[in-house]
Structure 1
Amino acid sequence: MFQFGRMFPTMPSGRNFSETYRCYSVTMLGDRDDVERGGKIIMPPSALDKLTRLHIQYPMLFKMTNRKQNRETHCGVLEFVADEGRIYIPYWMMKNLLLQEGDLIQVDNVSLPIATFAKFQPQHTDFLDISNPKAVLENALRSFACLTVEDLIEFKYNDKMYELRVLETKPGRAVSIIECDMNVDFAPPLGYKEPERVMPHAQEPNKMEEEDIEPDCDSFQVFKGRGNRLDGKTKGLDTPDKPILNVPPKRGIPNYNYKKNTITFIRTSRRVENGAQSPEDKMFEAFSGEGQSLRKTKTKSRK
């Protein structure tokens, strides 16, 4: 049977893609960091030909199974350029599947639910040095297509490799993370210990009162230094220092009546303790002093 708009004849529905390949790491292809730092594999062209004849659901997702070790994981596909009978996968995926170069692996196409939640556990405390781990992880997961519980994924950030264990995924043990809105949570890294809380000891009342009276040595104090005499004597300088209260300096009051291009002299008045007005409180008068003469005036004598 042929359908309109299809190049290849369709196969009966209900058939799945299931093949066995020789598995090799991506390093066999040369410098392919785009594959090594992600969760997608490279398959042969014959796999694409078979997939196009089946009723598969896009995006193409696969389950890889190592029957000898009873290990499995899920992945996507990046290219169909591998040699016939071979597939190339990231090295971290080979470690999860306990595979060696050239081992047989079974590949089946699957349909996975869209991820809504995932929980990861960093494998080293260095992960705590990342300022925004969620943003870094979001950028790293763009090269992945699936997440499987108990997988140990790797990604590179600032020329350093980080490993994360997938502890939990929802709504299933294997989920698709392509074009999804997923909530992320982190478990404490391996080897991480909570810092011990130091409880303050109860202080005696006398010591607390003394601390309240004594000024804080670390805080700012006005005129805290000592004076020195030019003749080297220490007379009057050996008196014990008195505690200086830490009073914040008073701020001046701005002159709101200031006019541009003018100078204002502010004179302060002082009050005498007995209530009398000091000479400085009198109104200022120009040239109000008394004159003095250098030549003495002659007094007329009376006869």
Structure 2
Amino acid sequence: MFQFNSFNMFPDISRPFNNSYKCYSVSMFPGNDRQDVEKGGKIIMPPSALDQLTRLNIEYPMLFKLTNNKKSRTTHAGVLEFVADEGKIYIPYWMMHNLVLEEGDLIQIESVSLPVATFSKFQPQSPDFLDITNPKAVLENALRNFACLTTGDLIAIKYNSKIYELCVLETKPGNAVSIIECDMNVEFAAPVGYQEPQRQPKAEEPMEDEPMHHIDSQNFFPFSGEGNRLDGKKKKNEKPPLHHIAKNHVRGIPDYDHPPFGLLRFDRSVKAISDKPEPKAEPENNNAAHFQAFQGPGSSLRKSRK
């Protein structure tokens, strides 16, 4: 008698995806060079994995936990394509380095659901990362090829034909987060080997209000320099320099003990006024009586027609 087994017709959708595969780097992928895998955090899986995932009750986007049981190393990744050979997967080289894997080692892959990222902190592994004009924009553009981040991973991004490594120091709200369509705050720690520039103390400037007693008053001649004309010509009637005239000049020193207040007296007495010299009398001009103004002949600027 024919017996019908229902579990043969319908798979157990509550069972999670959990399989083992041989792991290889992208450089071992047959056919063509897949540099797009090296630029991000996604892997290539076989078609049988897609057929099994479609039969299970999993959440999208598909995220996976990769575990190297021999070294107890774990990371997380997304999937790029299902075109690998059966029983094999291809992952980026930086991911193999984090998992301490060799070509052909077995790796355990399990489907997981990760919270959406809200915060992440990165530490560049070289001070050369600071030479980039806008490091935050470069990192944001590179993370578009990633599906998730794991605390402790050492990711690699490529910019201007140079590879920069960054360590994921912290992620929130968990140690592994999804960064697909999220609003995430990013911070940077000081790069490994970075040294703060040493600030040199400024040279002390002389005080402006210092007394000038140190100047030799016997040999000081103010305005003793030579002047020059702007047109380049020599000056006329040049006078001898002042230091030849004022040889016995002594520069005065102000009396700092002089009282600030005093009394000014203006003598306006009759005696003071009478002491002024009388103005000299102008000589009399005998011809003033005979002087008549505007008595000369007149002339017209316009000639007459006659």
Percent of aligned pairs with the same residue?
65
Match of 1:77 among 59, 76, 79: 79
> Post-superposition shift, 1:61?
0.2
Distance 1:167 1:17 in 2: 29
Deviations 1:176-234 (Å, cap 9, x if unpaired)?
A: 00011100000011111111122224333269899xxxxxxxxxxxxx99989899xxx
Partner of 2:259: none
SS at match of 2:61: coil
Deviations 1:232-270 (Å, cap 9, x if unpaired)?
A: xxxx8xx9xxxxxxxxxxxxxxxxxxxxxxxxxxxxxxx
1:23 maps onto 2:23 in alignment: yes
Partner of 2:286: none
Partner of 1:44: 46
Q: 1:162 to 1:227 in 2, by over 3 A?
A: same
Paired AA for residue 18 in structure 1: N
SS at match of 2:136: helix
Alignment of 1:200-239 (within 5 A): 200-205=202-207
Partner of 2:142: 140
Is the CA contact 1:11–1:55 (under 8 Å) kept in the aligned structure 2?
no
User: Which is greater in Rg?
Assistant: 2
> Post-superposition shift, 1:13?
4.4
- Structure 1 gap ranges (5+): 3-7, 211-223, 240-303
SS at match of 2:177: strand
Q: 1:227 to 1:163 in 2, by over 3 A?
A: same
Match of 2:199 among 197, 220, 224: 197
Partner of 1:165: 167
Match of 2:115 among 113, 116, 129: 113
The alignment's C-alpha RMSD in Å is 3.4
Distance 1:116 1:148 in 2: 13
Is the CA contact 1:44–1:86 (under 8 Å) kept in the aligned structure 2?
yes
Q: 1:227 to 1:17 in 2, by over 3 A?
A: same
Q: 1:32 to 1:209 in 2, by over 3 A?
A: farther
Partner of 2:176: 174
What is the number of residues matched between the two proteins? 225
Is the CA contact 1:113–1:172 (under 8 Å) kept in the aligned structure 2?
yes
Is the CA contact 2:13–2:55 (under 8 Å) kept in the aligned structure 1?
no
> Post-superposition shift, 1:155?
1.1
Is the CA contact 2:46–2:82 (under 8 Å) kept in the aligned structure 1?
yes
> Post-superposition shift, 1:130?
1.2
Report the TM-score, using the length of structure 1 for normalisation. 0.66
Report the TM-score, using the length of structure 2 for normalisation. 0.65
Is the CA contact 1:9–1:53 (under 8 Å) kept in the aligned structure 2?
no
> Post-superposition shift, 1:135?
1.1
Distance 2:44 2:228 in 1: 76
- Structure 2 gap ranges (5+): 213-226, 242-306
Is the CA contact 2:63–2:111 (under 8 Å) kept in the aligned structure 1?
yes
